[in-house]
Amino acid sequence: MIRSPNFVTRRAKMSTPNTTLVNWLEIPVTDMQRAVQFYEAVFEHPLRRETMGKVDMAVFTHGDGSGALVQGDQYRASAFYGPVPYLNAPQLDDVLARVSHAGGHTLEGPVDLPDNLGRYAHIKDSEGNRIGLHEPGTH
């Protein structure tokens, strides 16, 4: 198995006690180049390309890099089945505008959450995945 240079660092982080529920997030894609262009345009931040075994990856480099776009035989994009990941979108309206320009579209929202928890929206990305976007509130 070929391991990326960052595998050891990521593995160490994953074995350290974590105070958040989600340790790692994988978003399946069918066209990696198209998906990388979409997410880099929407979030205005580069992704880091890696390969782990037979899986092509583009790791989110925000903060601790706790997720990636993934392409491999065992991954299938879906807008209707499976979990919906929520990505941080502090300026939700600006992010939604970039979604449209990057080739995706808004499925729902923005929706105000109760108790000053912020707002969310659902989008369909360039690969057909339903992705949640969350703008934190002022709680």
Q: Could you report the per-residue pLDDT of 65-75, keeping only the tens digit for each?
A: 688 999 999 99
Whole-number pLDDT of residue 46 = 95
Tens digits of residue pLDDT in 73-98:
999 988 888 788 999 999 999 999 99
Residue 119 has pLDDT above 70, yes or no: yes
Pairing verdict, β 118-124 and 105-112 = antiparallel
Whole-number pLDDT of residue 128 = 95
Whole-number pLDDT of residue 65 = 62
Give percent helix, percent strand, percent coil of the chain, each to the nearest 5. 25, 35, 45
CATH topology for the 7-136 domain = 2,3-Dihydroxybiphenyl 1,2-Dioxygenase; domain 1 (3.10.180)
Say what the pTM is: 0.77
Contact 55, 72 (CB under 8 A): yes
Residue 1 has pLDDT above 90, yes or no: no
